[in-house]
């Protein structure tokens, strides 16, 4: 087990409905020493890519992206979830559907902060169905920028997002891939390729 799998095993809580709660170190209270290790590990895995910007999505992605950015020495841009419509023109916009929350959100990034010169590493905390991720990818494409890689902290390997994104040919690195979870026993099984 790697450092993150160990931490998930120790402090993650399996809820009914295949939900993994990691509120004590990732999603509510944040373990910054762990975030720093996460940043170091992404830097190692994307060592061959020339990355000049990190893109994430509010809210939970931001803290992680900031710590990762320290290891790449680049700025972070976060996509905002917005319900407003009067934003076209100066914003890149993508539609993102949340299966968990059963709603649609517009995700927006100002055109000032993404351009064809940008080589982007996308960072997020969870990958489930991949809707958020596909929204971020579409924003990078709309900007004419390049997705150099995608770094995910926890991938739910039994949902379809990871397979879809890998099939599209993206360099996706997930630090922990959960293959199955059992709420009754609290057992979490990780995938190791
Ligand atoms: P998708 O983007 O992969 O399609 O995700 P989905 O709609 O299924 O998930 C909605 C939200 O729930 C996302 O956060 C996602 O990161 C998070 N999520 C999905 N599965 C789990 C899980 O098992 N445990 C935890 N802790 N989170 C999960 P969000 O609401 O878009 O963003 P944020 O404001 O929380 O960052
Ligand atoms: Na997220
Ligand atoms: Na989240």
The angle at the Cα of 96, spanning 88 to 49, to the nearest 5 degrees, equals 90
| CATH tag for 3-190 (out of 3.30.70.20, 3.40.50.2020, 3.90.550.10, 3.40.47.10) | 3.40.50.2020
Domain segments of the chain: what residues?
3-190
What is the per-residue pLDDT for 88?
Answer: 64
Report whether 65 belongs to an annotated binding site.
no
The closest ligand to the CA of 125 turns out to be: 2
Query: pTM of the full predicted structure?
Result: 0.96
What is the per-residue pLDDT for 101?
Answer: 74
Mean pLDDT of 31-56: 98
What is the per-residue pLDDT for 129?
Answer: 95
How does pLDDT run across 57-97, given as a tens digit for each residue?
999 999 999 999 999 999 999 999 987 666 668 999 999 98
Q: Is 8 helix (H, G, I), strand (E, B) or coil?
A: helix
Contact 106 CB / ligand 1 (< 6 Å): no
Please give the distance, rounded to the nearest whole angstrom, from the Cα atom of residue 146 to the centre of ligand 2. 21
- Determine contact, residues 12/21, Cβ cutoff 8 Å: yes
What is the per-residue pLDDT for 86?
Answer: 64
Q: Whose CA is nearest to atom 11 of ligand 1?
A: 100
Contact 27 CB / ligand 1 (< 6 Å): yes
Residue 116: pLDDT above 80? yes
What is the per-residue pLDDT for 87?
Answer: 64
Per mean pLDDT, which range of 1-15, 72-86, 117-131 is the poorest?
72-86
How does pLDDT run across 130-189, given as a tens digit for each residue?
999 999 999 999 999 999 999 999 999 999 999 999 999 999 999 999 999 999 999 999
What is the per-residue pLDDT for 63?
Answer: 98
Report whether 131 belongs to an annotated binding site.
yes
Of 155, 147, 161, 156, nearest in space to 173 by CA: 155
Query: What is the pLDDT confidence band of residue 100, given thresholds at 50, 70 and 90?
Result: confident
Q: Whose CA is nearest to atom 15 of ligand 1?
A: 126
CA 86 to chain centre: 27
């Amino acid at each position: 087990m790697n450092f993150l799998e160990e931490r998930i095993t120790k402090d993650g809580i399996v809820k009914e409905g295949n939900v993994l709660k990691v509120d004590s170190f990732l999603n509510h209270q944040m373990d910054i020493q762990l975030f720093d290790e996460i940043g170091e590990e992404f830097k190692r895995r994307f060592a061959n890519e020339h990355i000049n910007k990190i893109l994430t999505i509010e809210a939970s992605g931001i803290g992680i992206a900031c710590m990762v950015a320290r290891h790449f020495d680049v700025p972070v841009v976060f996509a905002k979830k917005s319900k407003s419509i009067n934003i076209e023109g100066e914003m890149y916009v993508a539609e993102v559907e949340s299966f968990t929350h059963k709603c649609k959100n517009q995700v927006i990034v100002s055109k000032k902060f993404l351009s064809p010169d940008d080589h982007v590493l996308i960072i997020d905390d969870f990958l489930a169905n991949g809707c958020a991720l596909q929204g971020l990818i579409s924003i990078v494409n709309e900007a004419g920028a390049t997705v150099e890689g995608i770094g995910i902290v926890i991938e739910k390997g039994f949902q379809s997002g990871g397979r879809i994104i890998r099939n599209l040919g993206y360099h996706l690195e997930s630090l922990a891939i959960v293959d199955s979870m059992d709420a009754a026993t609290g057992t979490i099984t990780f995938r190791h390729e």
